[in-house]
Homo-oligomer: A and B are copies of this chain.
Amino acid sequence: MVENKFPGKDITLEDIETKFPLAAKKSAQHKSKFLVSGVEFGGDLIPVFAGPNMVESEDLILDVAINVKRSGAHFLRGGAFKPLTFPYRSPKYNETREKGIEWLGKAKEKVGIPIITEVMEEKYIPLVAEVADILQIGTRNMQNFPFLTACARTGKPIMLKRHYGASLRDWLGAAEYILLEGNTRVILCERGVSVPHTHRATSRFLLDLQVVPAAQEVTHLPIIIDPSHATFWRPWVTPMALAGIGAGADGIMIEVHPDPPNSAVDPLQPLDYEEFSSLMNRSNAVARALGRRVL
């Protein structure tokens, strides 16, 4: 056997110096802090993004905006442009998209809550960037490098979701593309990885909380978690959100819908208003026990 020392997907000191120097920490204490629409990331506050999977209608998104803000959410999330595994779109989906962005804009104005929403295609970047306070790059676009660069150039803060099959090393490489454009407000988001066993037919992914301390060991970028997409199962969302805070996550993203079983997409995962309010209170209690805060 010929031995070799190929590092595989593991991170080496050389990687840190030559592959993602901008994403890498310069010292043990190095951590990015930045403001987005008045909300601080990377500090004691653990910001919460909440809202429906899909911006179903103007009324719905307004109602959700009012309710999640009341419970203490810092950002309203909602999907207008959504990646679809199959090309056959429901009429519902075709109706939203541009409209969805418009409705998010109205909710933002009326309720006074900043917006995070996904952008999927280069041609829609200007449209989305006009309303969104944070541009969300989805799991499937994590290594769509020209698109990362185009998003970065808007100067807007960017939340980069980890691909469900990507290593931490690959993820930091993708973040480096954004940082290289001079855009320093990058938020990493863990949303579940593909693993051999996921406990239920419904749950296709496993929320990788070990990546939270692993990322914080090598990068100064804030890292948040999305337990809704990872678990795909409402009863597990709150425990995994609390777990994420225990692990040291710098933010949480939660799906909230006034009537989960009638959600237009993925009805098994959103919390209702009451569950979300309870999650906020419990999250805050855990955060405060650790010297941080949600509320």
**A182 in the interface, Cβ–Cβ < 8 Å?**
no
Q: How far is the CB of A246 from chain B (nearest CB, A)?
A: 4
How many copies of this chain?
Answer: 4
Q: Chain A 1-43 against B: per-residue CB contact (8 Å), 1 yes, 0 no?
A: 1011111111111001011100001000000000000000000
Contact, CB under 8 Å: A268 / B210: no
Query: At the interface with chain B, which of A58-66, A72-80, A198-206?
Result: A198-206
Chain B residue at smallest Cβ distance from A230? B210
Given contacts A86-B176, A197-B168, A290-B282, contact A246 B239 (CB under 8 A): yes
**A91 in the interface, Cβ–Cβ < 8 Å?**
no
Which residues of chain A from 131 to 185 have any CB-CB distance to chain B below 8 Å in the complex?
Answer: 140-141, 143-147, 163-170, 173-174, 176-177, 180
Q: Give Cα A210 to B180, complex, Å.
A: 35
Given contacts A173-B85, A246-B244, contact A209 B209 (CB under 8 A): yes
Chain B residue contacts of A271, Cβ below 8 A: none
Given contacts A13-B1, A165-B164, A209-B207, contact A195 B193 (CB under 8 A): yes
Contact, CB under 8 Å: A196 / B199: no
Tally of chain A residues near chain B (CB < 8 A): 91
**A120 in the interface, Cβ–Cβ < 8 Å?**
yes
Chain B residue contacts of A176, Cβ below 8 A: 86-87
* Further contacts, 8 of them, CB under 8 A, given A121-B146, A244-B246: A1-B217, A5-B201, A85-B143, A85-B169, A140-B145, A239-B246, A245-B246, A246-B247
**A213 in the interface, Cβ–Cβ < 8 Å?**
yes
Q: Give Cα A146 to B83, complex, Å.
A: 10
Contact, CB under 8 Å: B166 / A197: yes
Q: Chain A 217-243 against B: per-residue CB contact (8 Å), 1 yes, 0 no?
A: 110000000000011000110011111
Closest 8 CB pairs of A and B: A165-B165, A242-B246, A246-B246, A194-B196, A140-B143, A199-B214, A243-B247, A285-B289
Chain B residue contacts of A45, Cβ below 8 A: none
Chain B residue contacts of A10, Cβ below 8 A: 8, 199-201
Q: Which of B164, B177, B236, B247 contacts A240 (CB 8 A)?
A: B247
Chain B residue contacts of A245, Cβ below 8 A: 246
- The winner among A10, A203, A235 for most chain B CB atoms within 10 A is A10
Q: Give Cα A123 to B150, complex, Å.
A: 13
- The winner among A180, A207, A289 for most chain B CB atoms within 10 A is A289
Q: How far is the CB of A148 from chain B (nearest CB, A)?
A: 9
Chain B residue at smallest Cβ distance from A3? B13
**A111 in the interface, Cβ–Cβ < 8 Å?**
no
